Amino acid sequence: MPRTRYPKYIRDPGVALLSFAEIARGADVSSDPHFPESLMMPPRVIHGTTAMRAWTHKQRELGLRIALVPTMGALHDGHLALARKAAELADRVVVSIFVNPTQFGPEEDFDAYPRTLDEDRACLEREGCCDVVFAPSVSEMYPMGENLTWVTVDRMGEQLCGAVRPGHFRGVTTVVAKLFAIVHPEVAVFGLKDAQQFFILRRMTREMGFGTEVVGLPTVREPDGLALSSRNRYLTPEERAAAPGLYRALEEAKVSVVAGGERDARSIVTGVISGLTVIPECRMDYVQLVDTDDLQPIGTLEPGQRVLLALAAFFGKARLIDNVIIEVPPI
């Protein structure tokens, strides 16, 4: 069944405003004469930071709450789930689409990363839960050319992906700080597929005093368990068939902790590695178990502890990440 296409919030002066977000929460506009079919519009696309700030200022003048969903585009159902959640939490929803060069290493896929703005805008229009697509250029986000100002979170970016992608999280935290400064959202929604990113950004937001609530949404998966990712499009049919083995290995490890009583971190990681070695086409990058508070490695799991078991692996040219968050049962 196709999703409802919600009207844009165009109304006469002096009449209370409704947005995609409000309608997505159930506001009834079926008999509202201010919403004729001619006013059915796609999300507005804003490219400039000045225009984005002006739009944000106007919403704040109206007393409206803004949610931000930062993305690099090539949207899939996982991104749309974030936008839908944002629409539940705020009056206005901004989805940013920006392939951020500072989070890519010199040998990574920045140039090849898919850029599909027209398709992404159409996708958000069909979904009906976005008011503005903020799609800045590199020169808008980094106006001085060479960037000399960085936001960093000590230690939390040194493990997991940070250990094999030096500088990656410095780029992530810097660009998200810039987005927060431009959009001034009351809430920002991120997917927990990038769990390390989520925990780092939550820490950054709290310590920097941005006043933004950082919300994490569980990973959206295909029916066979593969985490949705823009990089899945790189997979060959054979690689796509093998890739769900990543999640199976993680889930087996989680069961060993929750139901089997395993508490030794090395044994847990070794079990995942053994599961990966039998997956066709898979070339392991890392497997690691860390505490969710500081993302530091642990030796023995403690009762009531919350831990992150994460991995990255290559299937051909596609580097895929996945994880499970494990609540260690109390004694």
223-276 pLDDT per residue, tens: 999 999 999 999 999 999 999 999 999 999 999 999 999 999 999 999 999 999
Number of domains in the chain: 2
Of 162, 185, 217, at which residue does a domain stop? Answer: 217
Q: Which is catalytic among the residues 47, 79, 168, 184?
A: 79
Q: What is the C-alpha to C-alpha distance for residues 64 and 323, in angstroms, rounded to an integer?
A: 35
Tell me the pLDDT tens digit for each residue of 28-72. 544 454 443 334 468 999 999 999 999 999 999 999 999 999 999
In a domain, 4, yes or no: no
Query: Domain span at residue 53?
Result: 20-217
For residues 41 and 152, membership in a common domain is answered with: yes
- Give the pLDDT of residue 33: 45
Instruction: Indicate the helix (H) or strand (E) that contains 60.
Output: helix 49-61
In a domain, 38, yes or no: yes
- Looking at the fold, whether 238 and 207 belong to one and the same domain comes out as no
Q: Which of 178, 194, 217 corresponds to the end of one domain?
A: 217
Element (H, E) at 323: strand 318-327
pLDDT in tens, 124-162: 999 999 999 999 999 999 999 999 999 999 999 999 999
Active site residue 79: yes
In this structure, is residue 281 part of a structural domain?
yes
Residues 98, 198 within the same domain: yes
Domain annotation covers residue 12: no
> What's the sign of the alpha-carbon dihedral 118, 120, 121, 125?
positive
Q: What mean pLDDT is predicted for residues 160-168?
A: 95
Of 66, 61, 20, 64, the residue nearest 43 (C-alpha): 20
